[in-house]
Structures are given as structure tokens and as C-alpha cells.
């Protein structure tokens, strides 16, 4: 049994998911959604005949709040939380994470993400690249996949892959977009991570934003690669020609929107993509990436 559970974050459908897998040792969740939607996930679980305490294992793609915010609630009920080595310290002591989120989201923190609390070290299990966890009848393997965040894993079992954010945001009948966010965007790593996903050769790809990819996984990954390359080059061109952050924010919002509309998206779908992956976030991400890793490209 695999079920995509809708968090209905901020009342919207089809934006942020937690993905449940039935095993002989209770439920596995791949990402939890934010803490603010814990009750919605509890309702989704009861719809399929379970409760939050049936979740015994939580595999986090990364620790951004829309993916991991509710992890501590499941840990309190006894679940083991699996996470990348660089993510684990922030689950055990989220103070720094919360402080930096408060700088970004301010008074909106509670409404967007809910409450964040520490997870007992006993409930946290660090997974390194290639580590496998046996949860009968499955063998769940972590693949380290940086690029969107430096502490990102995807997870493979049988011919399925849970793709986190590195595998793209794909909503409704839209195409996959790479969520460029600060401060860890790294283009070369992203392309390598897509190669690792290709090498795992999954037949089915599940995305936290949102659900099962409806067509060929390889076509999806090709589209992702094309966009990661083109979007990063788009930013490079504009940064080199002297655009400032405000100009980039409005230009990139227009660029992304025009692309979605040209592919047949309607205004509602464009709005949903903005909700899942706000376009303004790509700007500080891309500025930081080009300045930090390729300053020579900017001075030519």
C-alpha cells in the first residue's frame, strides 16, 4: 500500500504531500509536511484506516519545514526519524533553524509552518549515502542528492523512488520545475543528483510537491535537467548584465510564469506553483550560487 496524503497546507490541495507506505512494521512516511498540518495528516491517515501512532518510520528528504516540520510530532509517538547527517543536529536542536526561519517568515511562521520542537536523539537515525534500512518486506535505500539542499536524500525501494525536492516540483498537469532556494543551491551537485536518480532507474517517482509522476520518469528527469541548466544560465546572463535583486525577482517571476502558460498551465496552476515554490526564492539562491562558486564568470 502506498498512499499520497494531502497536507492541505493553508487550505490548498495538491501542493504539499506526505507519502505513506504500508509495511509489516507499521507505516513508513516519506516527509511529513509542516507541523501546522499534523491534524490534516492524521485525518488523511484515518481515511485509510490508520492513526498517527501507526507511523513507525519517517524518512526525511531534507529538513525544510514543508517536508520535516511535523517529524517531531511523530517522534513523540515513537517513530524513528531517518535523516542525512547534516540534517540530524537541526532536528535534535532546532534553535538555529527556527531563528533563521523567523528572520525570513517573521510573524507568518506559525501560520505557515506551525510549532517546531526538538526531537530526542534516541528517535533520530542518521543515514549516509547508500545506507539501507530493512523494513519488511522492503529494503529502503538512501541516496545522497545535494543541489537543492546540501543535506538532501532521495529514497529507493523496489522500483519506486521518493524524490524530495531535488527531483522537482510538479503539480497538476504541469511540468517539473527545479525549486531553487537559498542558501545551498548548487547547480553541479543538482545535475549529479539527477544522474544518481537516473542510475537508480525507478519505474515510479513520488514527489512531495505533489504525488506520483504521471508519465515516464526519464522524460521527467530530462525536463528537470534542461530547466536546471537553462534557469541557472538565465540568471548568469542577467547578473552579468547588472540586474539587481529587485529587477531579477520580477523578471524571473515573469519568465517562470510565461513558461508555465506556454505549456498550457492556467492561472490557477501558476498560482499553485508559486505556493509550492515561490519564484522570488530563486533569486537570492542564484545570486549566492554564482557569486560564491563562479565569481570569475561574473567579472568577464
Cβ closest to Zn ion, residue 144 vs residue 165: 165
x-or-dash string of contact with Zn ion, 60-99, rule CB under 5 A: ----x-----------------------------------
Residue in 165, 184, 225, 272 binding Zn ion, rule: CB under 5 A: 165
Stretch that binds Zn ion, among 96-104, 160-168, 251-259, 276-284 (CB under 5 A): 160-168
Cβ closest to Zn ion, residue 16 vs residue 45: 16
According to DSSP, the residues that pair with 143 across neighbouring strands are 154
Q: What DSSP string describes 208-274?
A: TTTEE-SS-HHHHHHHHHHHHHHHHHHHHHHHHTT--HHHHHHHHHHHHHHHHHHTT--HHHHHHHH
Q: Shortest distance, CB of residue 70 to Zn ion, whole angstroms? A: 15
Q: Which residue has the CB atom at the shortest distance from Zn ion?
A: 64
Are the C-beta atoms of residues 150 and 86 closer than 8 Å to each other?
A: yes
Alpha-carbon distance 121 to 209, whole Å?
Answer: 28
| Residue 186 interacting with Zn ion (CB under 5 A) | no
Q: Shortest distance, CB of residue 238 to Zn ion, whole angstroms? A: 24
Establish whether the linkage from the previous residue to 246 is cis, with ω within 30° of 0. no
Q: Shortest distance, CB of residue 71 to Zn ion, whole angstroms? A: 14
Cβ closest to Zn ion, residue 8 vs residue 64: 64
Angle, CA of 245, 168 and 32, to the nearest 5° = 105
Q: Shortest distance, CB of residue 49 to Zn ion, whole angstroms? A: 30
Q: Shortest distance, CB of residue 247 to Zn ion, whole angstroms? A: 25
Alpha-carbon distance 236 to 285, whole Å?
Answer: 12
Torsion-angle region of 158 (φ positive above 0: left; ψ -120 to 50: alpha; else: beta):
left
- Interface ranges with Zn ion (CB under 5 A): 64, 165
Amino acid at each position: 500500500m502506498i498512499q499520497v496524503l494531502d497536507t492541505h497546507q493553508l487550505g490548498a490541495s495538491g501542493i504539499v504531500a506526505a507519502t505513506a507506505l504500508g509495511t509489516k512494521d507499521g507505516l513508513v512516511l516519506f516527509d511529513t509536511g509542516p507541523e501546522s498540518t499534523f491534524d490534516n495528516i492524521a485525518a488523511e491517515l484515518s481515511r485509510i484506516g490508520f492513526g498517527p501512532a501507526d507511523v513507525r518510520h519517517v524518512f526525511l528528504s531534507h529538513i525544510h519545514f514543508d517536508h520535516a516540520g511535523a517529524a517531531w510530532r511523530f517522534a513523540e509517538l515513537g517513530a524513528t526519524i531517518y535523516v542525512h547527517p547534516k540534517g540530524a543536529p537541526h532536528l535534535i536542536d532546532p534553535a538555529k533553524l527556527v531563528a533563521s526561519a523567523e528572520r525570513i517568515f517573521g510573524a507568518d511562521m506559525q501560520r505557515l509552518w506551525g510549532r517546531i520542537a526538538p526531537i530526542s536523539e534516541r528517535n533520530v537515525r542518521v543515514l549516509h549515502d547508500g545506507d539501507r534500512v530493512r523494513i519488511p518486506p522492503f529494503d529502503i535505500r538512501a541516496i545522497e542528492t545535494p543541489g537543492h539542499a546540501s543535506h538532501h536524500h532521495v529514497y529507493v525501494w523496489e522500483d519506486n523512488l521518493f524524490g524530495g525536492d531535488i527531483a522537482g516540483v510538479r503539480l497538476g498537469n504541469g511540468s517539473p520545475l527545479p525549486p531553487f532556494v537559498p542558501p545551498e543551491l548548487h547547480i553541479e551537485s543538482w545535475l549529479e543528483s539527477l544522474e544518481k536518480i537516473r542510475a537508480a532507474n525507478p519505474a515510479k517517482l513520488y514527489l512531495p510537491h505533489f504525488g506520483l509522476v504521471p508519465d515516464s520518469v526519464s522524460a521527467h528527469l530530462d525536463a528537470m535537467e534542461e530547466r536546471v541548466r537553462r534557469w541557472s544560465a538565465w540568471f548568469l546572463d542577467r547578473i552579468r548584465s547588472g540586474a539587481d535583486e529587485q529587477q531579477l525577482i520580477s523578471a524571473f517571476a515573469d519568465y517562470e510564469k510565461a513558461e508555465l502558460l506556454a505549456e498550457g498551465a492556467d492561472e490557477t496552476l501558476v498560482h499553485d506553483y508559486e505556493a509550492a515554490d515561490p519564484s522570488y526564492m530563486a533569486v537570492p539562491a542564484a545570486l549566492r550560487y554564482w557569486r560564491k562558486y563562479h565569481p570569475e564568470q561574473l567579472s568577464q
